Structure 1
């Protein structure tokens, strides 16, 4: 391996050029009333761009009404394009690129709130919606694959620089990858090669759409679980094999490595304090009572450390040649430099930028002294705010 990259050096991501190697990770913003872009959402991403990131990721952009996490989430359709275009222009005006996180929530979808059927590899009960997800048929899967391509076309028409295809956290594609959630016996179940068909089919359709006119007009990345963090779920070895297939398929410009399950173990991604009390307060009865009584089982606590996914991600770095994005506990220059030294091409940041959208500018101005430290204390009380308006409860950020 040659000399480590400078995290503040410009970088190529497919056809896009980023001013640095720092990506604002997808963190659901809860700022899309009517399932459309609002001025509030534009201000959110404008603040991230003005704060110095190379690219800001809009989350979450569902491919269909039923693919949303809940009824307030944006879904990609012609009516959404003008707002997305204004958002892209605002981010570009601050010198950053912009990406749309695109996917189908699958069993994570709130069917009651969406007023649409949720899909899963098999019949699955979602306690948040108090509804069963329906087992996806071959026709359903074909529709979802096509919907991803259509959603990407909307992102292209809106002037976005990249799309991030959501293959993690037990959303639909991830739930098919999971041996715990996917007990099918048809062509989409059983062996990993079958369970990976949905993810690979989606990415092939996306790549065809991106190159429809002969050359790529937008970068394509994906978010993939290294581990679900639950017994019987996706583990490192199977995730590595899936990543090898995705690399061989040639559909991606970069892969972002993540972990945890929105369904059964969300704290495996976040680490730090488990805000059970705050999550309980975000729900109405009887879910509020259930969360109070059983929340510590759902929100298991894992100690926080900087760059906490680096050790697992290094296994992927050794096996793969494609560009990789490191996520998890990137809060200061030291963690960034460790990622670059380990051969990662980009780093992604979430909670630290919710607390301080201008953190990147301050880190860059600080240079190699590495004295700037994030105000984020990993209390994770920002997590329950996704049901109202996502923000840091300590600093109040991000604000317009």
Structure 2
């Protein structure tokens, strides 16, 4: 089996080990530009031993932001992204950019432009109607992905992670409950998968072998009408057969419909409601609103069983994600045939965790999975257990 701490390759990229800092929105780009605070955020795990740190939610278009305090990849953001990539390389790690279009997860009121989805639907974030994307929209957005990929290569990024999960735009097309279309983009899974496969092909054709191209996909969306594990296996097999990607990162849940399916552990309802606008805050106090943050018991590597089904179905490298805190769990992932392990909350609590686990076989992370980090994305993502006050940008 692979040694999780030994040097590895991902496509054309040489890595010092098989650990990945997963993309978690940093909340450190209030003007849509790279800041010193954003660089420092990623320098923590980079200096702490990870193979790759992933910059979250780099939007390909203005309406593709989750909200206005987010970077849109373009000439205006190139200098900052280059500075960020250089800093991570100097720390000995590789840098990935999570490239995406938020689709129905975007707050159209914050962005100043209506959100897009596979089908028309109300937005609980903006209290507006989300527009159904036209074929012209999808052609333009595919070009936006290509343009973003081209610029991130110029900035010196090593890995491009295409966001195909969590009810973002591509994921909204995959989910039959969100995609009620009757045209070539709806109906069968083959039709619903068309946008993701089209984007992956276009990006690969643009960047060739200059960088690694991966995708974040769902093992299950966790809501009625979402992507099931059976469909996830079939979709992964399609992407594998296409040959456009160097790896898949296996995630789950829906930022719009069921976020706790991804996080597991405690549900910080009161803390999350306190960060919301008054109308949304009121809605979260209703029975329906309280049910939005469901409670799922935490267990380490909680996506493992579903991810193993994908491991059996594809030959391409896979990244296992989902509450990985211990060296023994990382080694089990290698024994299971996974090629990389991705960590989020554990590294937020302890940026140097990878180095500590590498030097001590008995060590484990100290994250308690209270999930109170989730609401901090609006004031600078952090572990409130150790950093209770908002950061100053």
Same fold (TM over 0.5): yes
Mean Cα deviation higher: 18-27 or 126-135: 126-135
Query: Is 1:17 aligned with 2:14?
Result: yes
1:324 maps to which of 298, 318, 343: 318
Query: What is the match of residue 89 of structure 2?
Result: 92
Query: What is the match of residue 196 of structure 1?
Result: 193
Q: Which runs of 5+ in 1 are unaligned?
A: none
Deviations 1:104-147 (A, max 9, x none): 00011100001112111111111111111111000000011110
Deviation at 1:334, TM superposition (A): 1.1
1:383 maps to which of 363, 374, 386: 374
Contact kept? 1:355, 1:396, Cα under 8 Å: no
Q: For residues 319 and 193 of structure 1, what CA distance do their matches in structure 2 show?
A: 17
Q: For residues 227 and 180 of structure 1, what CA distance do their matches in structure 2 show?
A: 13
Q: For residues 331 and 118 of structure 2, what CA distance do their matches in structure 1 show?
A: 40
Contact kept? 1:181, 1:233, Cα under 8 Å: yes
Contact kept? 1:276, 1:295, Cα under 8 Å: no
Deviations 1:234-253 (A, max 9, x none): 10111111111101111100
Deviation at 1:51, TM superposition (A): 0.6
2:3 maps to which of 3, 6, 12: 6
Deviation at 1:226, TM superposition (A): 1.2
Partner of 1:182: helix, strand, or coil?
A: coil
With the length of structure 2 as denominator, give the TM-score of the two structures: 0.97
Deviation at 1:395, TM superposition (A): 1.7
Query: What is the match of residue 28 of structure 2?
Result: 31
Partner of 2:308: helix, strand, or coil?
A: helix
Q: For residues 296 and 310 of structure 1, what CA distance do their matches in structure 2 show?
A: 28
Partner of 2:58: helix, strand, or coil?
A: strand
Contact kept? 1:44, 1:399, Cα under 8 Å: no
Q: Which runs of 5+ in 2 are unaligned?
A: none
Contact kept? 2:118, 2:133, Cα under 8 Å: yes
Query: Is 1:257 aligned with 2:254?
Result: no
Partner of 1:56: helix, strand, or coil?
A: strand
Deviation at 1:274, TM superposition (A): 0.4
Q: For residues 184 and 39 of structure 2, what CA distance do their matches in structure 1 show?
A: 42
Structure 1 segment 122-271 matched on structure 2, within 5 A: 122-211=119-208, 216-271=209-264
Where has structure 1 moved over 6 Å in runs of 4 or more? 397-400
Query: What is the match of residue 114 of structure 2?
Result: 117
2:295 maps to which of 292, 301, 318: 301
Deviations 1:207-264 (A, max 9, x none): 01112xxxx1110000001111112211011111111110111110000011101111
Q: Cα RMSD over matched residues?
A: 1.3
- Tell me the matched-pair count: 390
Q: For residues 332 and 52 of structure 1, what CA distance do their matches in structure 2 show?
A: 15
Deviation at 1:399, TM superposition (A): 8.7
Q: For residues 132 and 157 of structure 1, what CA distance do their matches in structure 2 show?
A: 37
With the length of structure 1 as denominator, give the TM-score of the two structures: 0.96
Deviation at 1:296, TM superposition (A): 2.8
